[in-house]
Amino acid sequence: MPPLLEVRGLKKYFPVRRTWWGGATSWLHAVDGVDLRIDAPGTTLGIAGESGCGKTTLGRVILRLLPATAGEIYFEGRDILKLNYQALRAVRRDMQIVFQDPYSALDPRITVRDIVAEPLRTHLHLGGRELDDQVAALLAEVGLDASHIYRFPHEFSGGQRQRVVIARALALHPKFLVLDEPTSALDVSVQAQILNLLKDLQARLGLSYLLISHDLSVVEHMADEVAVMYLGQIVERGPAAEILSHPWHPYAQALLSAVPVPDPGQRGREIVLEGNVPSAVDPPTGCRFYSRCPVRRPVCREKAPVLADGGGGHWVACHLAGHGT
């Protein structure tokens, strides 16, 4: 059986400066040659990285919400970048997205019933009793009361809105969900509720997730596999437990150590990186992390490291893999 999702050499460039006749003079390399795969159904691949690393763009390109510049995306063995409109529509039933901000992801002028019913109407042409039953079942699935059905989004709290967004994403019984920072707009106590809901749904419905998050604790809690991105490229990937306990790449090490841990006994163990993420417009040749790397060598400046298997499915893109800080 082909893997559920396989991405090969995916690139997405955005034009930044244009000449007056419309040709682009430079490109922002948002996603620059990404390979990843989700083998088994019911598993979660976490994408971790800071703002501007291309993780959100990656999620959108995989769903073909943005056109790709180059590469291949196989969903259940079919390259979805080559599908025509009709075929893509059919595939989209199986792939849905949960957005970060539940305040802007819901149309404020229509009721929750209509929000959740919309995919059922457009894809399955349901109506009447059948539609109402399905909507009620979906709301129950995400832990919302059936009496909430005729309310508008503004009548809900952030956590309840995110439940509505999840109900809408589940409406067509997808196999695969892109979760783009699903809890970063929420409070801690509500975050726990939503993470538990997502895990529970995964266990019951066999969903696969691509979880995009800047919060490594959330990634660790949810993911089976993790990929760490920096400036449009994956610098390290492998089993979550392995990557988050023994990262090899100096960026992954610094990122992990910079996460503030709610324990005053762990102060002062973080690796503080100098400087900022360089611009993704015309990125540097050689290793992209070179300018901030605490263990850089001359070779890193000249030659870009490639993602290589360091054993046990732990892939890392670093010339000094394993000799880091």
Partner 1 sequence: MQIRNLKVAFRTYGGRVQALDLHRLDVRPGEILGLVGETGSGKSMTALSILRLLDRKAEVQSGEIIFQGEDLLKKTEVEMRTIRGRRITMVFQDPMSSLNPVFPVGEPLVRIIAAHEKVSFRAARQRAIDMLALVRLPSPEKVLSAYPHELSGGMRQRVMIAMALSSNPDLLLADEPTTALDVTIQAQILRLIEELRAHINASIVFITHNLGVVARIADRVAVMYAGDVVEIGSTADIFRNPGHPYTALLLQAIPRLGQKRGTLPVIEGTVPVVTHPQPGCYFYPRCPVRIERCRVERPEAKDLGDGHWVACWKQDGRLPPDNSEGNGEV
Which stretches of the chain bind partner 1, using CB under 8 A?
50-51, 157-159, 187-193, 195-196, 199-200, 214, 216-218, 220-221, 241, 244-245, 254-267, 270, 272-273, 276-277
Rounded to the nearest whole angstrom, what is the least distance from the CB of residue 193 to partner 1 in the complex?
Answer: 5
CB of 52: closest distance to partner 1 in angstroms? Answer: 8
Residue closer to partner 1, measured from CB, 96 or 213: 213
Smaller CB separation from partner 1, 169 or 186: 186
**Distance spanning both ends of the chain, measured CA to CA:** 41
- Closest contact distance (angstroms) between CB of 165 and partner 1 is 17
For residue 234, report the phi and psi dihedrals to the nearest 5 degrees.
-85, 125
Residue among 126 and 255 whose Cβ is closer to partner 1: 255
HEC per residue, the chain: CCCCEEEEEEEEEEEEEECCCCCEEEEEEEEEEEEEEECCCCCEEEEECCCCCCHHHHHHHHCCCCCCCEEEEEECCEEHHHCCHHHHHHHHCCEEEECCCCCCCCCCCCCHHHHHHHHHHHHHCCCHHHHHHHHHHHHHHCCCCHHHCCCCHHHCCHHHHHHHHHHHHHCCCCCEEEEECCCCCCCHHHHHHHHHHHHHHHHHHCCEEEEEECCHHHHHHHCCEEEEEECCEEEEEEEHHHHHHCCCCHHHHHHHHHCCCCCHHHCCCCCCCCCCCCCCECCCCCCCCHHHCCCCCHHHHHCCCCCEECCCCCEECCCCCCCCC
Q: How far is the CB of 278 from partner 1 (least distance, A)?
A: 10
Please state the closest distance from residue 157 (CB atom) to partner 1, in A: 5
The distance of closest approach from Cβ of residue 307 to partner 1 in the complex, given in angstroms and rounded to an integer, is: 21
Q: Which is nearer to partner 1, 50 or 76 (CB)?
A: 50
The residue (of 64 and 296) whose beta carbon lies closer to partner 1 is 296
Closer residue to partner 1 (CB): 69 or 193: 193
Cβ atoms of 280 and 274 closer than 8 Å: no
Please identify, using beta-carbon distances, which residue of 263 and 311 lies nearer to partner 1: 263
With 0-12 CB in 10 A as exposed, 13-18 as middle and 19+ as buried, what is 152? middle
Instruction: Compare residues 84 and 189 and give the one whose CB is closer to partner 1.
Output: 189
**Residue 158 beta carbon to partner 1: minimum distance, rounded to whole angstroms:** 8
Sheet containing 208-213: order of strands: 95-98, 176-180, 208-213, 44-48, 225-230, 233-239, 315-316, 308-309
Tokens for 37? 């795969």
Nearer Cβ to partner 1, position 106 or 255?
255
For the CB of residue 131, give the shortest distance to partner 1 in the complex, in Å: 29
* Shortest spacing between CB 161 and partner 1, in angstroms: 12
